[in-house]
Amino acid sequence: MENSEIIQIVSTVLALMVAIIGHEIMHGYMAYKYGDNTAKNAGRLSINPLVHVDPVGTIIIPGILFATGAPFLFGWAKPVPIYIREVIRNAGYKGAINVALAGIYYNFTLAVIASIVLKYMDVGTISSYFEYFIAYFILQTLVYNVVLGFFNLMPIPPLDGSHAVAYFAAWMRWDKVVNFYNMIERYGMVILILIIATPASQYFFAPIRYIISFLGP
């Protein structure tokens, strides 16, 4: 295996870990800002990746995608524990919505920062493996934060977007919407699998390609 290929693999894995682990930490941190100490007391606000590893989402799924030559890797970290009732008691449903979207805020912010850095980098002057690693890591940081942020924004259980919509509906007292999400919650993973594994995926994920193209170098 050539050195450039090893660098690409390592930088891609690191970028994915930064995206998914930071995503989960931000949920817990936002809840902590609203008075919920659950994640902090569980040691889940740590940047130590070992406390966030989910055997399936962090190791098995990305490993299978890599081994099968998938066009991109995907995964998730162990969900951060949150006592949302405490958040709602302290900050109302607006606070709950911010907790639900905190990981998405993080992902899109990181993607924009990576985009700015890339636009100021002169990739044509890269002359060492270290410089190549940095450039490729930043590029993958942009890509995977857009992928993770947009994917989680989808209003399908158990994704963050569905929680945000449900909290907003509860805030507005749209009981039918709340009841609808409670009803389909058990089928959420089936719906996601059908979207990902069928031709419908090209329509759902088309905006990701557009965003990456817009932010990319």
pLDDT in tens, 4-47: 888 888 898 899 889 999 999 999 999 999 999 999 999 999 98
pLDDT winner (highest mean) among 46-50, 54-58, 98-102, 179-183: 98-102
Contact (Cβ atoms closer than 8 angstroms) between residue 7 and residue 126: no
Residue 92 pLDDT greater than 60, yes or no: yes
**What pLDDT sits at residue 1?**
47
Q: What is the pLDDT of residue 18?
A: 93
Ranges assigned E (strand) in 33-160: none
**pLDDT of res. 67:** 72
Say whether pLDDT at 159 is over 60.
Answer: yes
Nearest-10 crossing angle of helices 3-33, 129-153: 40
Question: Is the model's pLDDT at 116 over the cut of 90?
Answer: yes
User: Which position has the higher pLDDT, 64 or 16?
Assistant: 16
3-state helix, strand, coil in the chain (%, to 5): 75, 0, 25
State phi, psi for 108 to the nearest 5 degrees: -70, -35
Of 124 and 40, the structure prediction assigns the larger pLDDT to: 40
174 contact partners, CB below 8 Å, separation of at least 6: none
Which of 125, 16, 31, 135 has its CA nearest to residue 74? 16
CA 185 to each of CA 152, 163, 173, 175: distance values in angstroms, whole numbers, following the listed order: 15, 10, 19, 15
What is the longest distance spanned by two Cα atoms in the chain? Answer: 60
